[in-house]
Amino acid sequence: MEDTVTPGTSTGTSTPSSDREAATALVTSWLNLWNGDYAIAEKIISESNRVHAAMFDGGDGSAVGGVSGMVSFVTQMRSLSSDLVFSIEVGPIIDGDHVVVRWVAKGHYGGGMPGAGAAVGTALAFRGVDILRVADGQVVEYWLNADTLDLMAQLQVGAS
């Protein structure tokens, strides 16, 4: 008998509807956090959360930990644009204890990025992929792959 793949699943992995509902609820809360609802952070982020990301300061994200670290990270990202809105383009895709989403963020540049040549008010749109490892309904590990090069080009960072 041949394995068949249903869209949204992978071979060899089944996703019970209760797991999908829990993952979808977590992704909704995750999106709300990124859209500025910091009060949700304690509910969905584990104090032992680890971040893996290429940071603006050249770090790898390992310095961002726990609830307060994630709130600071989200706040820093949102500081580029007070009207920044994140939405999900693809997902959630669920594989065991991992949840994956592709997102897009849109807003207008608010100023403050060192080296940026873009005028305040410049429209921004950039994309990325979040991989969340979940335990007990909370994010315990977070991998971020954002198109930072596209964002920096829009902000005209380093442009003469």
pLDDT score recorded for residue 9: 42
Chunk the chain into consecutive blocks of 10 residues (it has 160) and report each block's average pLDDT, rounded to whole numbers.
39 64 94 97 96 76 84 91 96 94 97 92 97 96 93 86
Distance CA(154)–CA(125), nearest Å, equals: 8
pLDDT score recorded for residue 40: 97
Domains of the chain, first to last: 17-154 (3.10.450.50)
What pTM did the predictor assign?
Answer: 0.83
pLDDT score recorded for residue 160: 55
Distance CA(73)–CA(28), nearest Å, equals: 18
Q: What are phi and psi of 26, to 5 degrees?
A: -65, -45
pLDDT score recorded for residue 7: 40
